[in-house]
Structure 1
Amino acid sequence: MSTLTAMPVDSGAAPVAATRDNEKKGRLYSLDALRGFDMFWIMGGGSIFQTIANVTGSPFWEGVAVQLEHPAWNGFHFYDLIFPLFLFMAGVSTPYSVGREIEKGKSRSQLLLRVIKRGLILVLLGIIYNNGLQIQPVSQIRFGSVLGRIGLAYMFANIIYLYTKERAQMIWFAAILVVYWLLLKFTAAPGFPAGDLTMEGNFASYLDRCILPGKLYLGIHDPEGFTSTFPAISTAMLGILTGNLLRNSTMAPVRKVGVMALTGVVFLVLAQIWNLDFPINKNLWTSSFVLQVGGISLLLLALFYYVIDIAGYRKWAFFFRVIGMNSILIYISGHFIDWGYTNNALFKWLGQLMGDPFGAVAMAVSLVFVKWLFLYFMYKQKVFLKV
């Protein structure tokens, strides 16, 4: 299963002269930093701003807090970006990992087995994350999970990557989105009109109710259901195509930033247009949602890549890189570390010193700090959780 392994840690020297070499054979500092930025929000960063909103009652902070919650159904908030951004970055990593192994002479059949193994391990970890290790009836087990979707989407996207050229990968990306749109547009659950996209009436949720064992997260719908994993493959494919651009293209690094930024803007415009017929909806991972989060992901990576890997401003990003290099570890850590207990043991005095109401804010900040210190210790020991 997963292993803790020692890996080399980049020294942090300015990358300006070595950008092309890093693109070809090394880890992208910007990718680790962006992954850490992404994970920051679910390891407690979001709670900090929600706590500020609660204690101040400020309309501004309440507006920020709303963005750190998922919409009930249709629509888009910032918090909807976190999951697909992580999946997108998993795709970006593929040319640096699987692609490099191909160049070293590994056969595609060997890499296929490794990809399938990784995908299934993530599915298993997702089931454990949802349900723990206790024995219980199958009817009480939730099989859909965040890690499971990452595992399946990563696996199928990497299989496409292994056996197709870049042009075909682009076709796969677009075809999956179009097929999923047509599937939901011309079908529905029994008793509902074709194209019904309500939670009860959409065909994806209905299909999950028919084929998924165990329980669904919302009873009649699971936001990480099997059917809506299909378009998530396109999210991972977009990451792979972006990784191809960064690692294999001969164009200048600054031009790569321009391509990512322009493509991101185009995707955002197309997402708004498609939203008129196929609403942006994370629960269903609609095709318009894929374009929306894909556009933002491209813009964020373009920004991080330019500032960190091209301009060489790395020091500010170290905080996020420490998180990003052990992202899965911090995600599952709550199942074997009582972070609340640890935080109270170390910093309860700080909350008491601050007093009401801002003591709660201090404790929310210290919780993130405690988790970061744990990750920093792992980073200094060069120990990272790999799947």
Structure 2
Amino acid sequence: MSLASTVPEPAVAQPVPVKRLLSLDTLRGFDMFWIMGGDEIFYALAKTTTWGWAAFMADQFTHPEWNGFRFYDLIFPLFLFMAGVSTPFSIGSRLQKGDDKGPLARKIITRGITLVIFGIIYNNGFFVKPLEEIRFCSVLGRIGLAGMFAQLIYVYANRRAQYFWFFGILLGYWAALMLIPVPGCGAGVLTMACSLPGYVDRLLVPGKLYLTIHDPEGLLSTVPAICNALLGMYAGALLKEYTSTAGQKMKTLIGVGVAFLVLGWLWDNIFPINKNLWTSSFVLVTGGCSLLLLALFYWIIDVRQYQKGTILFTVIGMNSILIYLAVLIINFEHIADFFFGGLIHQLTSEPLKAVLTVAGMILMKWLFLYILYQKKIFLRV
């Protein structure tokens, strides 16, 4: 199959000026759509019908109890991956212009710390809990720390060294979990009570852990998450190159993505795919899926220029952190009920009621973001 020379390169692949990747904003919006309520459509259908496909999809939007992989496990690492993809277009462009690395590093660290603080506020509110009840680990905290360290590696390490960091972290994390003994359990026991990440969290993390003895966004398990961002940086650098054709970039993204999926599932036999521990096999599987999704969106949107309807997701993708935080202070469900509740409650079909209730809530969130989008108001951290 030839993808290459007959297809014109999208503008983003040219040396100057480097434009924003519409496919990346769209994919980020697609990812956030499920977090802002898209998953609840399938939950509602599963509860109100006997449709087998609805039950299957609802199950895919839950996390396995421990080992295993479902679609919902991809949402978080995909977001980290996309943060990495944007790095060569933002930080990389500044480095090419000759910007000093010191100020860039300080900005990266400041952003990471800011996201950690946002994560603590998201979990606990504004200092309304005693210290022992505060959950310090968070989704935003992991995005901040993993993204921060990945970007520092990007700034100070060349391309070959970045590869060593990527595979070194994955192999080192595997070795640590399998060889370092946990008191009372021994080495290589990957249960919630006996895993090394859980032990480190209980030892070092103040406040409370999400699962009492373990936190899925804990300290040690944040280390391999750096690799999801590093993989995104590799993909971003590839897309930014102007010496390769669109077809060559597609083949590389697909080839590496498939290879990582195969390696991840093979590794699963001795190092289980586990989101709670963010195992190295989990990184490869989610990284492979992320590469394939990026290839698909890039090919359709930036190369083939099929861009109708992308506004539905780009509005979300360009303010993804803002909508994640906005639910803390805006009751979108109440707003949706105010506008649509009376009409929805008159319906006799329970499945339709359930779906429209969720759709109304999603619509209110989207309109909120669309107004900000129109006014060019974006939360930049």
Using the size of structure 2 for normalisation, the TM-score is 0.95
Match runs of 1:1-387 below 5 Å = 18-21=11-14, 25-248=18-241, 250-357=243-350, 358-387=352-381
**8 Å contact from structure 2 (residues 147, 226) kept in 1:** yes
Match of 1:386, SS state, is: coil
After superposition, give the CA deviation of every residue in 1:119-177 in whole Å (9 maximum; x if it has no partner).
Answer: 00000000000000033221111000000000000110011001111111011001000
Q: Cα–Cα, structure 1 residues 35 and 206, in superposed 2: closer, same or farther, change >3 Å?
A: same
Cα distance in structure 2, aligned partners of 1:31 and 1:188: 42
**What is the CA distance between 1:360 and its match in structure 2?**
1.6
Tell me how large the CA RMSD over aligned residues is: 1.4
Match of 1:354, SS state, is: coil
After superposition, give the CA deviation of every residue in 1:265-295 in whole Å (9 maximum; x if it has no partner).
Answer: 0000000110000000000000000000000
Q: Which amino acid aligns with 2:364?
A: V
Q: Which amino acid aligns with 1:373?
A: L
**8 Å contact from structure 2 (residues 12, 20) kept in 1:** no
**What is the CA distance between 1:350 and its match in structure 2?**
3.0
**8 Å contact from structure 2 (residues 26, 310) kept in 1:** yes
**What is the CA distance between 1:188 and its match in structure 2?**
3.7
Name structure 2 gaps, 5 residues minimum: 1-7
Cα distance in structure 2, aligned partners of 1:121 and 1:226: 17
Q: Which amino acid aligns with 1:144?
A: C
Name structure 1 gaps, 5 residues minimum: 1-14
The farther-off stretch of 45-54 and 15-24 is 15-24
**What is the CA distance between 1:87 and its match in structure 2?**
0.3
**What is the CA distance between 1:355 and its match in structure 2?**
3.1
**What is the CA distance between 1:223 and its match in structure 2?**
0.2
**What is the CA distance between 1:23 and its match in structure 2?**
8.6
Aligned residues: 373
Q: Which amino acid aligns with 1:78?
A: F
Cα distance in structure 2, aligned partners of 1:48 and 1:178: 39
Q: Which amino acid aligns with 2:328?
A: H
Q: Cα–Cα, structure 1 residues 185 and 336, in superposed 2: closer, same or farther, change >3 Å?
A: same
